[in-house]
Amino acid sequence: MAEVRSTADRAEVHAVGKEAAVATAPVWSVDPRTGKPREQVAQEATAEEVDLAVRGAHAARAALADRTTRAALLRRAADLLDGASEYVIEAADAETALGPVRLTGELARTTAQLRAFAEVVDEGAFLDVYIDHVDAERTPPWPDLRRYKVPLGVVAVYSASNFPLAFSVPGGDTASALAAGCPVVVKAHPDHPATSELCASVLRRAAAEVGLDENVITLVHGFDAGVELIRHPLVTAAGFTGSVRGGRALFDAAATRPTPIPFHGELGSLNPVVVTEAAAAERAEQIGTGLAGSMSLGVGQFCTKPGFVLAPAGEPGDRLLKTLTAAVSETEPGVMLDHRMRDAFVAGVAERAALPGVDAPITPGAGGEHTVSAGFLTLPAALLAAEGPHDLLLEECFGPVTVVARYTSADEVTGVLSRLPGNLTATLQIAEEEGTGALPGGAELLAALTPLAGRVLVNGWPTGVAVAPAQQHGGPYPATTSTSTSVGTTAIERWLRPVSYQSTPEALLPPELRDDNPLDVPRRVDGRREN
């Protein structure tokens, strides 16, 4: 299915831009369990092909204006993906080694997300409708004003390595952009091109089945294609999930365009954890085991992996580390998403472990020819009090490793927290009496963690991001380049802008703004809430 689409598109491109045809690199699907190529999936897109994809998406945007059709598209896409689950999970596992259990869960999450956005579209609260009728009593008088939000236009989506479904072609960025009424051009991640092609073809089929132009969603491959995409004049916004380096380069390209566009990137996150003395005294073993599970889950390849822990010096902290050591040493070596990442992990760990004062109770590293093993590093928190070589420990290291800094005073905790960059999550491990307020300090620690992250957890672990309306997956830079990303209902806001209509006759207004509210959307009319 994927090949057919690709060939058809290519034929069209050649018809359009024959003279400009350029030989591009083939795109291979690679097995991370062996490092060996599986099959050639496509070619990297040329500049002409990117242009064709964007123009096709732009031309398809009017078809997305109808909210009923958009909701149908999202639900149909979810149904078709569920129907193709066997093939999708097989392709994704072959390319990512994430395993069928995890991928089954990820697909369920992905289709739930598509359906959740269909509900958001149906309800229409995201349109943020305000109506103020003429008010002649005001000085100066108010004219009739009616505001709602309109889609920005074509959205570029850069998919993630570590979530081939939920943060890739059919993921939150795509779902929220389509929900907003924006056509999407996805730049596939090179770690799972076959899965990307398969998912794109499913989404395009869903579009066709609900009567939409299938160019509301298109896929391109290749690094250069990604750069062309962000620079294309008809692209109006972008979503990205990946590294600080790659994300920042694309952010810079978006900001330096003649017409700059918003770039919503999820880049890197340390996800600090603070364990209070009382918490360690209360349940050192439980915290140690929980930490081991969260930092090694999915071979440490979650953007929410707890990568930095402030744990107390002294006996309870020692017990925590003892349990952590035991639990981590029982972790099986795992296959990372690709060999480049594996090499970066091994090198990153070695560089960190070599810093003075850093110990490695269990050295994480190469666990075999194609695998890595989990581990952790420890150091006195005092070494992080001021700028220096140890700042490397405050940067994300992708893979199954965490850094435990041992503190001896509350001031040391405050000092290190003030030096941390922005994060997706920040976690507080406190004792029961700190949570009830019977022991002081809990509220202050929560207040100290809030400026650091988009999600703050108490006595839980940050891996696992529930797709709930109150969810928020974002945080200060470099966690994100904007305030929020692709999970939760705030995701749709990124692809919209407000427009007010002044003194516009009823007959010309969009139905959402007409007095009789024929589509029954929630609104604020003359200051009062309707629905």
Please give the residues from 96 up to 115 whose contact with its own copies meets the rule CB under 8 A: 105, 108
- Residue 256 interacting with its own copies (CB under 8 A): yes
Q: Least distance to its own copies from the beta carbon of 435, Å?
A: 4
Nearer to its own copies, 255 or 347 (CB): 255
Structure-block tokens of residue 84: 């193709």
Q: Any residues with CB less than 8 A from the CB of 450 and at least 6 apart, and which?
A: 426, 456
Using CB under 8 A, pick the residue from 21, 101, 354, 466 that binds its own copies: 466
Q: Two tokens at 184?
A: 């999407």
8-state DSSP, 488: S
- The residue (of 304 and 378) whose beta carbon lies closer to its own copies is 304
Look at the block and give the residue holding tokens 């943060």: 167
Backbone angles phi, psi at 406, to 5 degrees: -95, 125
Distance between CA atoms of 402 and 270, rounded to whole angstroms? 9
The distance of closest approach from Cβ of residue 253 to its own copies in the complex, given in angstroms and rounded to an integer, is: 11
d(CA 6, CA 196): 12
Q: Which is nearer to its own copies, 356 or 505 (CB)?
A: 505
Shortest distance in whole angstroms from residue 426 CB to its own copies: 10
**Does 234 interact with its own copies (rule: CB under 8 A)?**
no
414-419 contact pairs (CB < 8 A, 24+): 414/448, 415/381, 415/384, 415/385, 416/310, 416/381, 416/384, 416/385, 417/272, 417/274, 417/310, 417/448, 417/449, 417/452, 419/384, 419/385, 419/391, 419/394
Q: Which of 227, 346, 394, 477 binds its own copies (CB under 8 A)?
A: 477
When the beta carbons of 339 and 524 are compared against its own copies, the nearer one is 524
303 catalytic? Reply is yes
- Please tell me whether residue 22 binds its own copies under the rule CB under 8 A: no
Choose, by CB under 8 A, the member of 251, 308, 345, 376 that binds its own copies. 251
Residue 498 C-beta: closest distance to its own copies, Å = 4
Interface residue with its own copies among 389, 460, 511, 530 (CB under 8 A) is 460
Query: Cα–Cα distance between 312 and 278 in angstroms, integer?
Result: 9
In this structure, what are the phi and psi dihedrals at residue 364, rounded to the nearest 5 degrees? -75, 155
Shortest distance, position 505 Cβ to its own copies, whole Å = 4
Q: Which of 297, 266, 273 is nearest to 399 (CA)?
A: 297
By CB under 8 A, tell whether 527 contacts its own copies: yes
Both tokens assigned to 467? 């797709």
Does 360 sit near its own copies (CB under 8 A)? no
Q: Any contact of residue 454 with its own copies (CB under 8 A)?
A: yes
Contact between 366 and its own copies (CB under 8 A)?
no
Report angle CA 373, 463, 436 to the nearest 5 degrees.
125
Classified as helix, coil or strand, 103 is helix
d(CA 324, CA 285): 8
Distance, CA of 417 to CA of 406 (rounded, Å): 13
Span 406-425, contacts to its own copies by CB under 8 A = 422
Which whole-number Å values give the CA distances from 394 to 89, 347, 372, 404, 421, in the listed order? 35, 16, 22, 11, 8
**Binding region for its own copies (CB under 8 A) out of 44-52, 87-95, 239-247, 248-256:** 248-256
CA–CA gap between residue 292 and residue 445 (Å, rounded): 23
Place of tokens 């570029």: 156
Q: Please state, in angstroms and as integers, the Cα–Cα distance from residue 11 to each residue in 15, 109, 218, following that order.
A: 6, 35, 15
Closest CB to its own copies among 58 and 189? 58
In this structure, what is the dihedral angle of CA atoms 189, 337, 99, 25, given to the nearest 10 degrees? 40
Count of positions on this chain that bind its own copies (CB under 8 A): 74
One residue of 4, 137, 470, 516 binding its own copies per CB under 8 A = 470
Q: Is there binding between residue 446 and its own copies (CB under 8 A)?
A: yes
Q: With H, G, I as helix, E, B as strand and everything else as coil, classify residue 422.
A: coil
Q: Based on CB atoms, which residue is closest to its own copies, 186 or 452?
A: 452
**Site membership for its own copies, residue 260 (CB under 8 A):** yes
- 368 interacts with its own copies by CB under 8 A: no
In b/e form, how buried is each residue of 394-417, taking b as 16+ CB within 10 angstroms? bebbbbbbbbbbbbeeeebbebbb
The residues that bridge with 373 in the sheet, in sequence order, are 365
15: contact with its own copies by CB under 8 A: no
Q: How far is the CB of 8 from its own copies (least distance, A)?
A: 29
Binding mask 483-522 for its own copies (x = CB under 8 A): xx---xxx-----xxxxxxxxxx-xx--------------
Question: Which residues, including other chains, have CB under 8 Å from residue 243's CB and lie 6 or more apart?
Answer: 267, 268, 398
Residue of 303, 412, 434, 512 marked active site: 303
48, 228, 266, 512: the catalytic one is: 266
DSSP summary character for residue 217: E
Nearest to its own copies of 2, 428 (CB atom): 428
Given the complex with its own copies, which of 318 and 493 has the nearer CB atom? 493
- Between 6 and 236, whose beta carbon lies closer to its own copies? 236
Q: Pick from 355, 415, 471, 519 the residue near its own copies by CB under 8 A.
A: 471
Mapping DSSP to helix (H, G, I), strand (E, B) and coil, where does residue 33 land? coil
Alpha helices in 399-512 (DSSP H): 410-417, 432-436, 442-449
Nearest distance in Å: CB 260, its own copies: 6
Per CB under 8 A, which region of 284-292, 307-315, 330-338, 459-467 contacts its own copies? Answer: 459-467
Q: Which parts of 275-334 interact with its own copies (CB under 8 A)?
A: none
Nearer to its own copies, 370 or 473 (CB): 473
Sites for its own copies among residues 132-171 (CB under 8 A): 132, 135, 138-143, 145-147, 150, 153
Which sequence positions are flagged as catalytic? 266, 303
